[in-house]
Structure 1
């Protein structure tokens, strides 16, 4: 069976005039929404922002945007870019936005989740696009400003006007993504990929870090040195960056002999079959819709799991205390601000 060919898009694939004369509405002014709105405006497009009455709305006003309620921002817009949280979007889409879309409006989603699980059902007279940046919100702005660009996943899920592809690529270009490139993925593929990696690889890394920290402390290693070795020094993130630039296996050769030998022995000692079984179970839950149903049940109960997450991630634990001592003594690793990130926005 021949594998489907992956489609890549670059700047040369977009038409600079694709969005000429279009009014753009960006709904949601969290980290990603702010970066997208600023990038679109700097690309010469007229942008309005839709947001609820909160601190993000004030920030959008301070940034010089016309800010409206979510539904009002949709009125008259040719392109609507939805940057609202997945858990919020279904209710907002059906109750507030759907009645206000004009015929032929391009409705662009930043995540494939609600489309993949049919939590929203756009009307047949809309262009339905996916433009999912694979970069943290603030980095989307930085990559636009310095011209490096960032990867995105893109697709045309519904093309009512015959201009869906050119509008999708025009939008990807205007936010700065095509300076780096985009990969064609359907909404279902994007949602599956995103959920699979964050529910498989992510938890393994989290458990590995916590276990190594706990055992290292038990062995008499300084907790401050442990958090530095694990992630605060930047060596680990640099190692992952090297995988991206040199290649996954080639990056192994960038380490010394002792590191290569020890890492190889450690890899051979892991129970790879158990990991594979677990990953397959995770993937099956995602593809069958089991995870989405579980999340909807959680929402109906008021998200009781959030209390458990808050308890697990509370700041009064040895790992966080060690981080704080390192920051107090040496400052933040990247020179950036500490504290909670500015996220969300609706």
Structure 2
């Protein structure tokens, strides 16, 4: 039997539950920085726990008290881990668990390490999940413009009897409850996140690349193809319309020719094969097979990711077409004179390959 989904809004939170509390934010990458700034702007005392690097220097420059991760943990009432999932286990065992005080609220931004038993918090602390469903920069901008952002939240362990009120106060302080939050266990959050990444994501990627190759082979201009597929922003607008109007209702935003052609194209797909594949993906995630596979990959130095990096950084016709479009038309969504945003390969939990110890 499916349980009823629980939603939270600002009216469900008691901000006073964190009055006088000190918060340690571990990691000052894209997500960690945004979270720290939001919490501080909500009136909480925030210390950034980070190794001594450029991220820590930036936190200090932006007015935060900074400390080594272990020192930040030992002084905090609330510890919020904003580190990549693959980094958390070793940081947790060395810097976090030995320094936790009884009654501390320990919060994770991803359910992955909890779901697969990669960390084991002590029994005398509250264990919380607050997983923003938004990229780091947008977590900050959504706080500043007042719209908020969706998060998945839950209490995994209530040692104090105050875990839920502290969780909701923290979720409100970071700005999420202006939009809302949904209760999901750590296992559910990890499963959902991995499932969409490994099912829908690959199909979209392969579809774009295949359409590009077929179109170019048929004589269509490669620059126009990348624009039609995603650079024009029309595809992104379609996704936004799904979110605002509804999945099926968004179809009405297209013309008759697009509606008819899209429906006809759908009929030609092997939906049963896709469903079987998606079920296999989900089973691999739920059984722990993917997590074990990833641990083996890490132990070998991430050889598959090295192959991926060579593809991403290679001389691909799609990349060349994008570069020609940017050279003539500029970056989509960027105003004249604005520098391009640097990119780095994302890791689960919000970190980057450029800063493996940051969140």
Same fold judged by TM-score > 0.5?
yes
Supply the distance in 1 between the matched residues of 2:131 and 2:65 (Cα, whole angstroms). Answer: 24
Aligned match of 2:231 = 232
Alpha-carbon distance in 1 for matches of 2:179, 2:219:
45
Asked if 2 retains the 8 angstrom alpha-carbon contact of 1:315 and 1:321, the reply is no
1:294-305 map, 5 Å: 294-305=293-304
Alignment match, 1:325:
324
Counterpart of 1:133 in structure 2 is 132
2:79 paired residue number = 80
Hey, what does 1:102 align to over in structure 2? 101
Count, aligned residues = 345
Please state how far the C-alpha of 1:339 moved relative to its aligned partner: 4.8
Measure, in 1, the Cα distance between the counterparts of 2:119 and 2:6: 26
Is 1:205 aligned to 2:204, yes or no? Answer: yes
The alignment's TM-score, normalised by the length of structure 2, stands at 0.94
Aligned to 1:9: 8
Unaligned runs of 5+ in 1: none
Structure 1 equivalent of residue 47 of structure 2: 48
**What SS is found at the alignment partner of 1:156?**
strand
Tell me, in whole angstroms, the C-alpha distance in 2 between the residues paired with 1:274 and 1:302.
33
Q: Which residue of 2 aligns with 1:341?
A: 343
Question: What's 1:268 paired with?
Answer: 267
Q: How big is the shift at 1:298? A: 0.8
Q: Equivalent residues in 2 for 1:232-311 (5 A)?
A: 232-311=231-310
Which structure 2 residue ranges, 5 or more long, are not aligned?
Answer: 345-350, 353-357
Deviations 1:199-249 (A, max 9, x none): 000000000001111111111111111111111111000000000111001
Deviation of 1:184 (Å): 0.2
Deviations 1:145-184 (A, max 9, x none): 0000000000000000000000000000000000000000
1:28-74 C-alpha deviation (Å, 9 max, x unpaired) = 11100000000000001100001122221222122111111111111
Secondary structure in structure 1 of the residue aligned to 2:51: coil
> Where has structure 1 moved over 2 Å in runs of 4 or more?
336-344
Root-mean-square deviation (CA), in Å? 1.1
Counterpart contact for 1:154–1:182, Cα < 8 Å = yes
Counterpart-to-counterpart distance in 2, 1:297 and 1:220: 44
Task: List aligned pairs for 1:53-72, cutoff 5 A.
Answer: 53-72=52-71
* Alignment-derived partner of residue 38 in structure 1: 37
